[in-house]
Structure 1
Amino acid sequence: MSYEGTANLKIVQGLYAAFAGRDLETIRAAIHPEFVMRQSDLLPWGGRRQGPDGFLAFLGTLLSHVGPALDIEALYDAGDHVVQFGHSHGTVIAHGTPFRVPEVHVWQLRDGLITSYQVYVDVPAMLAALTPLPETA
């Protein structure tokens, strides 16, 4: 008997590796045509996106605001879902402010492709990092 969860974990791990290498072709190939993602509308890259093009647009907007990296602290197999706990860190493009915020990613998979992605991040902490510090005299 095969264990589908193991395959799902490998798919999500591969997606994280592709993002770290900015391998958009591999990312696109992992996304189901009916894919839907959601992240808080309060973030400049947040909102609801659909399909592979929507996901790549999300990544483009994200990367135009921050230079992010991910510290994965835990990755859980939850059947047709994979849940990741960790921290996003990097710098804000506009003013170089460093950030490190806790986050959770919830991925859903079907037939070896990612069908949904929900991002939960510490929104107040991320917004604080995005806000430039006032100049001192």
Structure 2
Amino acid sequence: MTLRRRTTAVGDLPSPSQPYCRPTGIRPSPSQPFRRPTGIRLGQRRRPTVTRTTCGRRQATQAARAAVGAPKRGNATTNSNAELIGRAYRAFAAGDIPAVLQLLDARITWHVPGRSPLSGDYHGPDGVLKFFGLCQELSGGTLKVPADEILADGERVVVLSTVSAERHGQSWSSPEVHVWRIVDGKAVEFREFQADQEAEDAFWSS
């Protein structure tokens, strides 16, 4: 039997533009069967493996919190202190002095600046009651101390007030700033700041 070597001319080779087709009837070797990768369906591309991390998200969250500012704590206490002082001013306007005294701590210090008959330091609810009595006596019961605005931050409460009164036929009105300190639901300190101390001293001393 004579074996003939078959030669292929260059013109018989497939053109690069023509797709290569495997000759029919040729199968992989039985010893090395073709195995499709698990988890991949026909016509589906393998997706690259992505490792997720929370580091970047955590850093972004921290940066956002730093830019906005951490939420303040103690808002419930701040609101309750502001409400307590608001009740005190409403009670005073209604002439309910006992209700005002109930909101004061037994160790409260009450400071009024200036050189008028009202100036000085008063201690305890009894001292504050004495101050109230002197105010009503000098004003003939015309003293008004409304809470125009209440600002609170923690244990500090600031009240903006326009105080007015009448005395010897003269009317007087002036803005004041009242600074309170609240501890455990009771007022422990009061300080008054007057817009025009000389004018206020002159009015109460006349």
Does the C-alpha gap of structure 1 residues 30 and 125 become closer, same or farther in structure 2, counting only changes over 3 Å? same
State whether residues 87 and 102 of structure 1, in contact with CA within 8 Å, keep that contact through their aligned partners in structure 2.
yes
1:59 is the counterpart of 2:143: no
Q: How far does residue 21 in structure 1 lie from its aligned partner after superposition? A: 1.2
TM-score (norm 2): 0.59
2:151 — aligned with what? 76
Does structure 2 conserve the Cα–Cα contact (< 8 Å) formed by 1:70 and 1:86? yes
SS at match of 1:44: coil
Q: Secondary structure, in 3 states, of the residue corresponding to 1:72?
A: coil
Matches of residues 39-118 of structure 1 in structure 2 within 5 Å? 39-66=112-139, 67-92=142-167, 95-118=168-191
Tell me: higher relative CO, structure 1 or 2? Use CA pairs within 8 A at least 6 residues apart: 1
Deviations 1:26-50 (A, max 9, x none): 1111110111010114121110011
Gaps in structure 2 of 5+ consecutive residues: 1-73
Classify 1:56/1:101 alpha carbon distance in 2 versus 1 (closer, same or farther; 3 Å): same
Return the index of the structure with the highest Cα Rg.
2
Residues paired across the two proteins, number: 130
Cα shift at 1:74: 2.1
Q: Give 1:35's aligned amino acid.
A: I
Quick one: distance in 1 between partners of 2:144 and 2:155?
Answer: 25
Q: Structure 1: how far apart are the matches of 2:98 and 2:148?
A: 26
CA RMSD of aligned residues (A): 1.7
Residues 100 and 2 of structure 1: CA distance in aligned 2, closer, same or farther (over 3 Å): closer
TM, length-normalised to structure 1: 0.87
Greater strand fraction, Structure 1 or Structure 2: 1
1:16 is aligned to 89
- Once the two structures are TM-superposed, the CA of residue 9 in structure 1 deviates from its matched residue by 0.6
Name the CA distance, whole Å, in 1 between partners of 2:153 and 2:91.
Answer: 22
Q: C-alpha distance in 2, partners of 1:72/1:15?
A: 10
Cα offset, 1:59, TM superposition: 0.7
> Percent identity, aligned pairs only?
24
